[in-house]
């Protein structure tokens, strides 16, 4: 597969791009916002396209043309307001889903957030969780072959390769590197098609944990 990574310059996205670049099975195209980011990726031999989640659907369509799968790892970040959260985490996701549909790209992996499917557990992060919740619902209704991964609190420490995966897990944390590894392993794993699950650090290797989804 040629995998189109939306949010490639984010922390999970960067891990995923490097994993895809080294993969014997897949190739990667990074969607980025500006030429400076493009140069950084192209220096390490990664194909890029310029597009903006706050721009047009057509821009995303042209950037993704020729790819076989979408991975949406984009996020507005913890220091932005509700407006950016809605524009990136919700509408940006919706535009990406629309672009995939226009292009006939069926495989779509969404990086969501743990408990986004449970309104009663949203706490103080209601704008963010609302955006994730409704982006996930749009994807489920899209007709695309989706997988929704809901990771726990994200860490920058090295991944262990051991996780816990289930439909409903207590909130816990996970290294971003292990989220990226899980995305990679999920791409062609048919038992994860049209499924959603929580993801936190655990005691089971990623491949074995995904076998139990």
Q: Tell me the H-state helices in 4-92.
A: 11-22, 35-43, 57-64, 82-84
Q: Given 3-state DSSP classes, what are the helix, strand and coil percentages for the chain, each rounded to the nearest 5?
A: 40, 25, 35
* Longest Cα separation, the chain: 45
Using an 8 Å Cβ cutoff, are 9 and 37 in contact?
A: yes
Angle, helix 93-103 to helix 57-64, in steps of 10 degrees = 50
Q: What SS3 string covers 136-165?
A: HHHHHCCCCEEEEEEECEEECCCCCCEEEE
Burial class (CB in 10 A: 0-12, 13-18, 19+), 119: exposed
Q: Which amino acids are annotated catalytic?
A: 128
Dihedral sign computed on CA atoms, order 67, 108, 22, 25 = negative
CA distance linking residue 106 with residue 143, whole number of Å:
8
């Amino acid at each position: 597969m040629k995998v189109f990574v939306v949010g490639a310059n984010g922390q999970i996205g960067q891990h995923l791009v490097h994993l895809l670049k080294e993969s014997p099975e897949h190739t990667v195209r990074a969607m980025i916002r500006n030429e400076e980011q493009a140069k950084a990726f192209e220096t390490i031999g990664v194909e890029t396209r310029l597009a903006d989640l706050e721009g047009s659907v057509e821009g995303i369509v042209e950037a993704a043309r020729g790819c076989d799968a979408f991975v949406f790892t984009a996020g507005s970040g913890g220091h932005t307001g509700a407006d950016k959260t809605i524009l990136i985490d919700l509408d940006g996701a919706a535009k990406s889903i629309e672009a995939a549909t226009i292009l006939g790209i069926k495989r779509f992996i969404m990086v969501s957030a743990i408990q986004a499917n449970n309104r009663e557990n949203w706490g103080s992060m209601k704008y963010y969780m609302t955006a994730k919740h409704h982006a996930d619902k749009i994807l489920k209704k899209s007709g695309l072959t989706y997988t929704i991964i809901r990771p726990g609190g994200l860490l920058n420490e090295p991944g262990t390769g051991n996780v816990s995966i289930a439909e409903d897990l207590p909130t816990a944390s996970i290294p971003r590197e292990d989220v990226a590894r899980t995305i990679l392993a999920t791409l062609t794993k048919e038992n994860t098609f049209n499924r959603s699950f929580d993801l936190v650090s655990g005691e089971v290797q990623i491949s074995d944990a995904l076998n139990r989804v």
